[in-house]
């Protein structure tokens, strides 16, 4: 089997995936969300220290299976360099101890494979990747053969939820709490402008919307009550989603996909999922593909599933040649 490690941001996770049939034999994740919540976002040095504590604890639980491990897959890009290093150091040590090769895995490719846990991968497909670090429209033709059709010019979709949440004093991470508050809110109360609505350019932008939300919150001032907060969340979520849908519709008209999927931490948002399902149906594509809710956010199971493909293709790298890369390749 493949032993996989994920530590690109604030989740420490290890998985074991069987090579023959991609069955998940073991998966555990320790999230640091609560540790970072008091700072309103991820503190890289704290995250690195917490990975150094959590990863060995999880690894201990894999002891009964270690003799069956054929390769170690580890996220090496993109992410926070100080946290990626924690995973890579453990991966290298394991490779030496078990005498197995190393498979460096791109975290974004990992998110794509969250669609194919315990099942065969199906390509080609269009993928909307919405996470805390990224907002990308991808055409995935085959394993590793990916064209990025659109990306964000500033903040990412998930990050904009985190920032709005921070402005409203709702804590970190913002996605789940903003979605929850939005359910009780009136999405028409605030008339936020959909970003880049008139430009044909395939790109995303969330910083302007974030500033519109900031002004609305400032205007409400101290008299802002719970209902006002819910209305801000609902209006923001509707506009942020309308922006994605508008650009996707432009993309679908120019370039219909065989199949369409949404992945990444923010793909857990049910408001977004529902609207994407309708759009995909309108353009007569097969039903929207999604990952199981628990595997939308960062996890080592998706890294292991991607690792199985990488293993079959022999994408091994020498221990002296492997580096972490914080940026998107
Ligand atoms: O993929 P992920 O776990 O980490 C990165 O690779 O960035 O995504 C985390 C991001 C955070 O910004 C979080 O606020 C967002 O996903 N997120 C959501 C929801 N759940 C998580 N955004 C919107 N709605 C949600 N329900
Ligand atoms: Zn991620």
Pocket test for ligand 1, best of 40, 113, 158, 210 (most atoms within 8 A of CB): 158
127 Cβ closer than 6 Å to some ligand 1 atom: no
* Alpha carbons 5 and 73: distance in angstroms, whole number: 6
Ligand 1, atom nearest to 131 Cα: 8
pLDDT tens across 126-160, in order?
Answer: 999 999 999 999 999 999 999 999 999 999 999 99
Cβ atoms of 22 and 311 closer than 8 Å: no
What is the ipTM score, two decimals? 0.98
Give SS3 for 231.
helix
pLDDT of residue 266: 98
Cβ atoms of 74 and 104 closer than 8 Å: yes
Cβ atoms of 202 and 251 closer than 8 Å: yes
Cβ atoms of 159 and 169 closer than 8 Å: no
pLDDT of residue 234: 98
Cβ atoms of 114 and 299 closer than 8 Å: yes
* Alpha carbons 257 and 283: distance in angstroms, whole number: 9
Q: Would the annotation count 107 as a binding residue? A: yes
pLDDT tens across 171-194, in order?
Answer: 999 999 999 999 999 999 999 999
Report how far Cα 279 is from the mean position of its chain's Cα atoms.
Answer: 21
Superfamily for the 125-290 domain = ATPase, nucleotide binding domain (3.30.420.40)
Q: What is the DSSP letter of 282?
A: H
- What the block records as the tokens of 122 is 């199906």
pLDDT tens across 214-250, in order?
Answer: 999 999 999 999 999 999 999 999 999 999 999 999 9
Q: What is the DSSP letter of 285?
A: P
- What the block records as the tokens of 145 is 């053969």
* Alpha carbons 159 and 195: distance in angstroms, whole number: 15
Give SS3 for 40.
coil
CA of 98 to the centre of ligand 1 (A): 34
Report how far Cα 39 is from the mean position of its chain's Cα atoms.
Answer: 21
Spell out the domain ranges in the chain. 2-117+295-312, 125-290
Closest CA to ligand 1's atom 1: 265
Asked if the domains at 2-117+295-312 and 125-290 fall in one CATH topology, the answer is: yes
Residue with tokens 């519709």: 249
- What the block records as the tokens of 2 is 């493949």
pLDDT tens digits for the chain (329 residues)? 999 999 999 999 999 999 999 999 999 999 999 999 888 889 999 999 999 999 999 999 999 999 999 999 999 999 999 999 999 999 999 999 999 999 999 999 999 999 999 999 999 999 999 999 999 999 999 999 999 999 999 999 999 999 999 999 999 999 999 999 999 999 999 999 999 999 999 999 999 999 999 999 999 999 999 999 999 999 999 999 999 999 999 999 988 899 999 999 999 999 999 999 999 999 999 999 999 999 999 999 999 999 999 999 999 999 999 999 998 76
CA distances from 302 to 201, 307, 308 (A): 31, 8, 10
CA of 228 to the centre of ligand 2 (A): 31
Q: With the CA atoms of 143, 147, 150 and 155 taken in that order, what torsion angle do they form, in degrees rounded to the nearest 10? A: 50
> So what CATH class is 2-117+295-312?
alpha beta
Q: What is the DSSP letter of 281?
A: H
């Amino acid at each position: 089997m493949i032993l996989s490690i994920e530590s690109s941001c604030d989740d420490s996770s290890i998985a074991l995936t069987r090579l023959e049939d991609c069955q998940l034999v073991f998966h555990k994740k320790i999230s640091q969300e609560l540790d970072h919540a008091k700072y309103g976002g991820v503190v890289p040095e704290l995250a690195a220290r917490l990975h150094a504590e959590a990863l060995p604890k999880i690894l201990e639980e894999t002891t009964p299976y270690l003799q069956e491990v054929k390769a170690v897959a580890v996220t090496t890009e993109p992410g926070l360099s100080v946290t990626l290093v924690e995973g890579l150091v453990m991966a290298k040590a394991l490779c030496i101890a078990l005498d197995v090769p190393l498979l460096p895995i791109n975290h974004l490719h990992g998110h794509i494979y969250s669609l194919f846990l315990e099942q065969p991968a199906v390509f080609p497909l269009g993928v909307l990747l919405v996470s805390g670090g990224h907002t990308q429209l991808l055409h995935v033709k085959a394993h590793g053969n990916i064209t990025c059709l659109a990306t964000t010019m500033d903040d990412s979709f998930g990050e904009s939820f985190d920032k709005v949440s921070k402005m409203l004093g709702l804590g970190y991470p913002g996605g789940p709490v903003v979605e929850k508050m939005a359910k009780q809110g009136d999405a028409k109360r605030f008339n936020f402008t959909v970003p880049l609505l008139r430009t044909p350019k395939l790109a995303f932008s969330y910083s302007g919307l974030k500033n519109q939300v900031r002004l609305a919150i400032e205007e409400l001032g101290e008299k802002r009550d719970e209902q006002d907060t819910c209305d801000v969340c609902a209006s923001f979520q509707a506009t942020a989603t309308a922006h994605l849908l508008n650009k996707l519709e432009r993309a679908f008209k120019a370039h219909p996909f065989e199949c369409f999927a949404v992945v990444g931490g923010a793909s857990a948002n049910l408001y977004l999922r529902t609207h994407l399902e309708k759009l995909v149906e309108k353009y007569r594509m097969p039903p929207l593909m999604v990952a199981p809710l628990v595997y939308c956010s960062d996890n080592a199971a998706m890294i292991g599933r991607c690792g199985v493909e990488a293993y079959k293709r022999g994408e091994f790298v020498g221990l002296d040649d492997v580096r972490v890369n914080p940026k998107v390749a």
